[in-house]
């Protein structure tokens, strides 16, 4: 999709899901030409800019800046305003924070760092047009990969996916105010991923993720947290094998194919005690402003379908517009025509035209308040995650 058009779409959504980081705002806002863009940034922050004349920029490519880093130790990269056509690959284990530059008006608009009203505040886009071709693993198309190595990034086929790897990658990856886009034309081409996060911890704040089929992937042994963001897609566009929490996120249906969520689970021998699954909390499901007029009409989108019979998907206090099918969930395909009782689908306190649970599939759990209270960030990740920025306000 052309950048300017996508920005118009984002502008139509952004007022309902966008805040700023008290920790990094002083670093992120654009500075006057007479000042260093790194003013207010953590010590050692690397500046990336497409402005070749900027003396403060060490790199013009985000990936080049990442490749310059040692394997260990915390690092911060500030990305100057611009549209970066590249693929990002993070294999280092040390914490890494990517900061998208923001307009200087952000401070006035976002006091006290909540409910920013500027349309599409983000000034940084990272994008490619890669899609999966015959014989390729889905991972080959991702705009952003956070995984320890190629074997760890592979998604694989079937209900079990790629073989389990005895390795872990980045312990604390964060990205703020960056729009990640896979601009491959549409799902009719094939899978076109935005993220592949596997064997890593990663969190995202005030970002956007745009594709059509398989936009978001949380892979094996990965833990991901997305807050105050927008995700565009139309076919299984949240899919995965790990543990993913989506908070205050807009899920924008460009059309409907498969389900919004397609997840795998795993047995407790591979992951003892792990609550693998997708958890969508205090969010919105809407028909995207750029939806296909013929295939994204009201009542066509399923909340999810099970990629294997141990799949888990939970919706908590989420607004659902009329693009959500009354049944809620569907079997994966004709070869697996039944949602097994080992699959855990659940819903609590849904609102909006698509929230009527009276016609949901029988296997779904309509949670009580007491049952829903067990689904918290700490409860899902089995700890209070140190890799999440709980100081981010939204």
Average pLDDT over residues 309-323: 94
**Is pLDDT at 196 greater than 60 in this prediction?**
yes
Q: Give the mean pLDDT of the chain.
A: 88
**Is pLDDT at 296 greater than 50 in this prediction?**
no
pLDDT recorded at residue 117: 33
Q: Give the CB-side neighbour count of residue 77, counting CA atoms within 13 A.
A: 26
Tens of pLDDT along 211-264? 999 999 999 999 999 999 999 999 899 999 999 999 999 999 998 888 999 999
**How far, in Å, CA of 347 to CA of 333, rounded?**
22
Q: Is 34 exposed, middle or buried (0-12, 13-18, 19+ CB in 10 A)?
A: exposed
**How far, in Å, CA of 231 to CA of 227, rounded?**
11
pLDDT recorded at residue 345: 95
Polymer length in residues for the chain: 394
Average pLDDT over residues 333-354: 93
Average pLDDT over residues 334-340: 89
Tens of pLDDT along 151-166? 999 999 988 899 999 9
Contact 252, 288 (CB under 8 A): yes
pLDDT recorded at residue 270: 55
pLDDT recorded at residue 53: 86
pLDDT recorded at residue 274: 54
Average pLDDT over residues 289-300: 65
**How far, in Å, CA of 191 to CA of 200, rounded?**
22
Average pLDDT over residues 269-286: 80
Tens of pLDDT along 90-142? 999 999 999 999 998 755 444 333 333 334 689 999 999 999 999 999 999 99
**How far, in Å, CA of 306 to CA of 73, rounded?**
39
pLDDT confidence bin for 188, thresholds 50/70/90 = low
pTM for the full predicted model: 0.92
pLDDT recorded at residue 136: 94
**How far, in Å, CA of 76 to CA of 21, rounded?**
14
**Is pLDDT at 72 greater than 50 in this prediction?**
yes
- Residue 294: CB atoms within 10 A of its CB come to 7
Average pLDDT over residues 298-315: 88
pLDDT recorded at residue 18: 56
Strands 144-146 and 344-348: unpaired
Q: Cα dihedral sign for 213, 199, 125, 86?
A: negative
Average pLDDT over residues 188-206: 92
Average pLDDT over residues 67-94: 97
């Amino acid at each position: 999709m052309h950048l300017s058009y996508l920005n118009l779409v984002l502008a139509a959504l952004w007022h309902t899901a966008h805040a700023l980081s008290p920790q990094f705002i002083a670093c992120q806002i654009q500075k006057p030409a007479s000042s260093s863009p790194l003013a207010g940034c953590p010590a050692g922050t690397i500046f990336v800019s497409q402005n070749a004349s900027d003396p403060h920029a060490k790199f013009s490519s985000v990936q080049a800046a990442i490749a310059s880093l040692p394997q260990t130790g915390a690092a911060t990269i500030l990305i100057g305003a611009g549209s970066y056509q590249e693929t990002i690959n993070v294999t280092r284990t040390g914490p890494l924070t990517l900061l998208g530059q923001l307009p200087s008006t952000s401070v006035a608009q976002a006091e006290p760092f909540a409910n920013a009203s500027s349309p599409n505040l983000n000034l940084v886009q990272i994008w490619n047009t890669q899609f999966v071709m015959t014989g390729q693993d889905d991972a080959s198309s991702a705009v952003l990969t956070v995984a320890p190595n190629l074997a760890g990034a592979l998604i694989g086929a079937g209900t079990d996916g790629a073989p389990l790897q005895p390795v872990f990658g980045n312990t604390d990856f964060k990205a703020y105010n960056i729009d990640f886009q896979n601009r491959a034309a549409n799902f009719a081409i094939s899978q076109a991923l935005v993220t592949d996060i596997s064997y890593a911890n990663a969190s995202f704040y005030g970002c956007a993720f745009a594709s059509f089929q398989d936009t978001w992937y949380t892979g094996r042994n990965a833990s991901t947290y997305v807050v105050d963001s927008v995700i565009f897609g139309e076919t299984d566009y949240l899919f995965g094998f790990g543990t993913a929490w989506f908070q205050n996120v807009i899920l924008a249906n460009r059309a409907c194919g498969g389900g919004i969520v397609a997840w795998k689970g795993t047995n407790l021998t591979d992951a003892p005690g792990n609550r693998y699954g997708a958890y969508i909390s205090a969010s919105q499901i809407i028909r995207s402003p750029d939806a296909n007029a013929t295939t994204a009409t009201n009542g066509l989108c399923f909340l999810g379908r099970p990629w294997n019979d141990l799949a888990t998907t939970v919706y908590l206090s989420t607004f659902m517009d009329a693009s959500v099918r009354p049944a809620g969930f569907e079997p994966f395909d004709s070869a697996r025509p039944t949602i097994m009782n080992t699959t855990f689908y659940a819903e609590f306190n849904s609102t909006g035209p698509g929230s009527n649970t009276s016609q949901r599939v029988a296997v779904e759990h309509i949670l009580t308040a007491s049952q829903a209270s067990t689904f918290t960030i700490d409860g899902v990740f089995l700890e209070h995650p140190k890799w999440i920025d709980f100081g981010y306000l939204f």
